[in-house]
Chain A
Amino acid sequence: MNETLPISDIQLAFSVLLVLITGTIASLLRLGLLKSLVWGTIRTFVQLTLVGYALTYIFQWNNLWLVIGVTLFMAWVAARTAVKRTPNVPKYPALLAFLALLASTYLVGSIVSIMIIAPIPWYAPRIVIPIFGMLLGNSMTGIALSLDRLYSEARARAPEIEALLTFGATPWEAIQDSLREALRAGMTPTINSLMVVGIVSLPGMMTGQILGGADPRLAVRYQIVVMLMITAAVAIGCLLLVGFSYKKLFTEDGALKPFLLQSRN
């Protein structure tokens, strides 16, 4: 039972039938999704096949520098994606998101790899790269939510923030309520998922392991580690990015920047 059932080329080709179902719905109801569906399916096949080959190589090489290079690349892509998902934020440097993601995922990833899972060597790509993938995927969503909320809160609370400034508040003091809301926005989805995991949702990683033939009790242990490490990484990532960002809302003289103010006479 501890064996992965193989999926042959023909069996994989059958999975395309599932796309036909989606495609039929999309075209019958004229959802305008057909092109995206076809393109998305092709990309799924191509991207994942390439990743499969790449991972095979990376796992064979077992080289620390290669692992660092791959995780840096993943973090950069995640940072670019995160700053694009923030409709309330005018052009934001991906570098800051990159630094926040890097610091949080490297810290949490190292703890998990060195102290909890402890593979030999500790940077074993078979362990470290999937861990980084999960950390980055979730942190990316978290920091995007936090960053977006920081700007929308600052805009909505501009009168309060300015009132605090007139009481002699520093930008840091004046932005406290918005910071807190931004952190809550980034961290809430992850914390909520801790509540329902196993009841409402079976996480993808655990499902994957079980499908792959692992003992469910071991899969559950891994999943617990994964959930907790994701929560920590999201919290640190949001905290860092919000900390890097709040000064961007203020001028050098510590006043709110004009783009956050509603039009007035």
Chain B
Amino acid sequence: MFQFNLTYAPGGKEVIQAAADVNQGEVLVVSAPSGTGKTTLLRILARLQPALNGQVFLNREDWLDIPASHWRVLVHYLAQKPALFEGSVADNLAKPFTIRVLSEKPFLANKAKALMAELHLPSHLWEQDARTLSGGEAARLAFVRALLIEPALMLLDEPTAALDEASRQAFYAVLQSWLRQPGHAALLVSHAEDYQLNNLKILKLSAP
């Protein structure tokens, strides 16, 4: 469902080529030593920065035929240190639905609460100021927010880096069940090699 073939130069240094074909339900793990452009690859795929050249297709549609604002919802990038906004946890979860592209979708508070519970985020956090959350809580909150906007493809940048073992397992369980729904796939950058996921593919980055 998702194909890409790109060349890019992270940090303006050596040129890297990356190509892969991801089927629905699959996770493509991007593997490379640190500083070799894994984050850059995810950001390029989210159209947050340009590639040198190449092509990307989502469900056989060329990415350039899709407006960037729609693309970024469909192919959704979750930063390693996710940005939280002023306001409560609930405000942060509802934030995407204030954007015009998503404003026709309802904000499903009950679904959000259920996902929080699955990710071991206690319900009393709902009204709490989001900027008082710990790193691990913030990472899971951002994951819930990403699930609510219902992308087709998730670009996950070190999503478990700030999580303890129990939260990590909960994270992978939620991700796995999301992947089982039709039309979903993910790219994952992670240092910890305990993915706890089915349908893994590995992409090793290298110079062409």
Interface residues of A (CB under 8 A from B): 159-160, 162-170, 173, 251, 253-256, 258, 264-265
Contacts and interface: CB of A to CB of B under 8 A. Distances in A.
A164 B47 CA distance: 13
Interface-central residue, A170, A173, A265, by most chain B CB under 10 Å: A265
Contacts of A164: 95, 99
Contact of A265 (B39, B77, B102): B39
A163 B48 CA distance: 10
Nearest to A258: B49
Nearest to A160: B83
Nearest to A257: B49
Interface in B72-90: 72-73, 76-79, 81-83, 85
A165 B69 CA distance: 7
A159 B69 contact: no
B147 to A, nearest CB: 13
A168 B50 CA distance: 17
B13 interface: no
B35 interface: yes
B144 to A, nearest CB: 14
Interface string B170-191: 0000000000000000000000
Given A168-B69, A253-B47, A264-B39, A163 B102 contact: no
B82 A167 contact: no
Contacts, number: 69
A167 B92 CA distance: 12
Q: How big is chain B's contact interface, by range?
A: 20 to 34
A164 B101 CA distance: 11
B99 A168 contact: yes
A256 B99 contact: no
Contact of A166 (B39, B49, B72, B100): B72
A173 B98 CA distance: 10
A166 B102 CA distance: 11
A255 B99 contact: no
A190 to B, nearest CB: 27
A255 B101 contact: no
B100 A170 contact: yes
A251 B50 contact: yes
A168 B47 contact: no
A193 B96 CA distance: 39
Given A254-B69, A255-B48, A255-B49, A167 B83 contact: no
Nearest to B82: A163
